[in-house]
Amino acid sequence: MVFVPGEKPGNEQEVRLQNASKQIVQAAILQAVQQVSQENQQKEKKINSSVSLQLERGELTKKHEKK
């Protein structure tokens, strides 16, 4: 329920429930964003690690030489 400015809510418990719901949704969104960020960082580390290993082995330079 959304209250128009100047309108008084009919029930304090309803307002508390709304606030609790908002906090739950905000916490869930924050957790999801943090999880996606963490997963992206892990993927980036794996990619960087793989590229470093390929450079050490000379695999990337061999591919470039073929072109």
Ordered by start, the domain boundaries in the chain are 30-56
In degrees, rounded to 5, the angle at the alpha carbon of residue 9 between the alpha carbons of residues 15 and 7 is 135
The conformation of residue 10, written as its DSSP 8-state character, comes to: S
pTM for this model (two decimals): 0.56
The conformation of residue 5, written as its DSSP 8-state character, comes to: T
Cβ-based neighbours of 15, under 8 Å, separated by 6 or more: 9
Q: 15-63 pLDDT, tens per residue? A: 999 999 999 999 999 999 999 999 999 988 888 888 887 777 777 655 5
